Structure 1
Amino acid sequence: MTKIFIDPGHGGSDPGATGNGLQEKHLTLAIALKLRDILNSQYEGHSIMLSRTTDQNISLSQRTNMANNWGADYLVSIHINAGGGTGFESYTFNGSYSGKAETNRLRGIVHDAVVNQTGFRDRGKKEANFHMLRESAMPAVLTENGFIDHSADAANLKSDAFLTRIARGHAVGLANALGLTPKSSGGDTGTQKFVEIIVDSLWTYNTADWDDKAVVVNRGEVFTVIRDKFPVGGGYMYQIKSGLYITANSSYVRYYTR
């Protein structure tokens, strides 16, 4: 199981770059959530952790500690640029370390996929002494997805469809770089799988981890299942279309097909 750590840059009282009515922290979170959902709905053989799923303050050290303690196999930190340019660029750590050639090879695959999906001007594959790259114990890339203070880039970044293209570029690149398996229909005849909440309220989870709580869902809500029941720490979970996970315990949910 390949562990992918997704870091939406900034958050909370740190808006990141601003311009043209946009804040970097909101754009990076939107892209990260879309990336998670695309990976979970279209690929298998991986698990995902996000440094944040809401607009909250998280220090750089907390972010890399999360990734390192989880034992992530790859880290992608998502950002939006500023400073008078236009286009897309990506970074790896500029120090001397074992695995640098492989880190740069993986980055190249992700970088090219984002450029291909978005049509961004390619500003190049670069190196820098950024905390997210330096302090991560696994190969890592930091992406800068357009310039928030450039009118044409900002116009694209205001489009939800374009944010999806950015996310899809990351997803395709990560899948190709990390060897993720595309989900196949397996001869499916069109049967859809659902889970209905049958208790007043119930937690969902960001990852297949009972301690990684996400949001509460309520009685009567129905979700599409994209991964059938699988064991997790003495219990069982389903993965739902949003990318979140939910208990498979029949005392709390009703599973059915249509």
Structure 2
Amino acid sequence: MKLYLDPGHGGSDPGAQGNGFREKDLNLDIALKIRSILENNYENIDVRMSRTSDVTKSLDQRTNEANSWEADFYLSIHINSFNGSAQGYEDYIHSSLSNNSATSRYRDIIHTEVMKLNQLDDRGKKKADFHVLRETTMDAMLSENGFIDNAQNAALMKQESWRRNVAQGHANGIAKAFNLTPKEATDRGALYKVIAGSFKQRENAEKRVTDLDAQGYDSFISTSEVSGETWYRVQAGAFSSRENAETRLQEIESKGIDAFIAID
């Protein structure tokens, strides 16, 4: 399954802003987490992102790239903004589509899974004539994950654990909608590795190792190829039990350090 994952905005376009946040940063953080969860936990999933850093990319560039790649699904990640009082989650498919379309069925599944984890009010499943929904040749969906100018929603956005849960909800929905096979279902004796950050620059990974050491956690750096790019991963534990790995993950995230679980 080929997923084109689009963190909205970026570079010279910050998107919505409020409560000390820029939408482009939150979109990218959540999208990177979605990619990590899917690629590390499921078989036969190929993820391509419109951007993996803070760069400017036009809407045409995004949809043309997805179309040329012949993606199976286009998922665009956004954060909403309105009047400071509006709050909650909503998602969109193109206005021309029926409620019985394949796109609508995929969206229904993803919507349900996201709402299980995001702690947000459900503003419903909607339709619009957004460029990324109109100009894509594959099924496409856009999610609006809370309101950046709402104090309650922004308090959630500040939490690393909340952003990871939002990503997990999207990943769970993708996995369920496209019948992805979990890696642990195919691999005997799986090893659950706690990855406390994945970086393009080795010096950033080395800083994370230093930070972990100061918190009392042993860690080391390994390299990984993701979508043709080299990433420096910081591993902070490996466990035969997923429950133990989850415990370590929660410990590390409670220190304000981003982490996820990879399965070998």
The TM tier, using the shorter chain, reads 0.7 to 0.9
- In structure 2, what is the equivalent of residue 197 of structure 1? none
Say whether the 8 Å CA contact 1:40–1:243 is kept in structure 2.
no
Deviations 1:229-255 (A, max 9, x none): xxxxxxxxxxxx9899xxxxxxxxxxx
With structure 2 as the length reference, what TM-score do the two structures score? 0.73
Q: Report what 1:56 is aligned to.
A: 55
Partner of 2:145: 145
- Greater share of residues in helix: 2
Residues 204 and 58 from structure 1, CA distance in 2 versus in 1: closer, same or farther, beyond 3 angstroms?
farther
2:64 aligns with 65
Q: Secondary structure, in 3 states, of the residue corresponding to 2:101?
A: helix
Aligned length: 213
CA distance in 2, matches of 1:47, 1:189: 21
* Richer in strand (by share): 1
Report how far residue 59 of structure 1 moved: 0.3
Q: Do residues 169 (structure 1) and 169 (structure 2) align?
A: yes
What pairs with 1:73-222 in structure 2 (closer than 5 Å)? 73-84=72-83, 85-95=86-96, 101-184=101-184, 186-188=187-189, 190=191, 205-207=225-227, 212-213=228-229
Q: TM-score, normalised by structure 1?
A: 0.74
Task: Assess if the C-alpha contact under 8 Å between 2:90 and 2:125 holds in 1.
Answer: yes
The ranges of structure 1 where at least 4 consecutive aligned residues each deviate by more than 6 angstroms after the TM superposition are 221-224, 241-244
Query: Residues 187-234 of structure 1: CA distance to partner in whole angstroms, max 9, x if unpaired?
Result: 317598xxxxxxxxxx96542xxxx4455x69xx9899xxxxxxxxxx
Percent of aligned pairs with the same amino acid: 43
Structure-2 residue corresponding to 1:42: 41
SS at match of 1:26: helix
* Secondary structure in 2 matching 1:168: helix
Structure 1 distance, partners of 2:132, 2:103, is 14
- Alignment CA distance shift 1:28-1:52 (3 Å): same
Structure 1 residues 3 and 191, CA, compared in 2 at 3 Å: closer, same or farther?
closer
Q: Distance in 1 between matches of 2:177 and 2:92?
A: 16
Quote the Cα distance in structure 1 between the aligned partners of 2:22 and 2:145.
13
* CA distance, structure 1, for counterparts of residue 77 and residue 148 of structure 2: 14
Structure 2: unaligned runs, 5 residues or longer: 194-222, 238-258
Aligned to 2:17: 18
1:100, distance to aligned residue in structure 2 (A): 6.5
Where does the alignment leave 5 or more consecutive residues of structure 1 unmatched? Answer: 193-202, 225-240, 245-256
The CA distance in 1 between the partners of 2:53 and 2:192, in whole Å, is 33
- The amino acid across from 1:88 in the alignment is Y
CA distance in 1, matches of 2:109, 2:235: 37
Residues 59 and 132 of structure 2 are in contact (CA less than 8 Å); yes or no, is this contact kept in structure 1? yes
Tell me the distance in 2 between the aligned counterparts of 1:22 and 1:34: 18
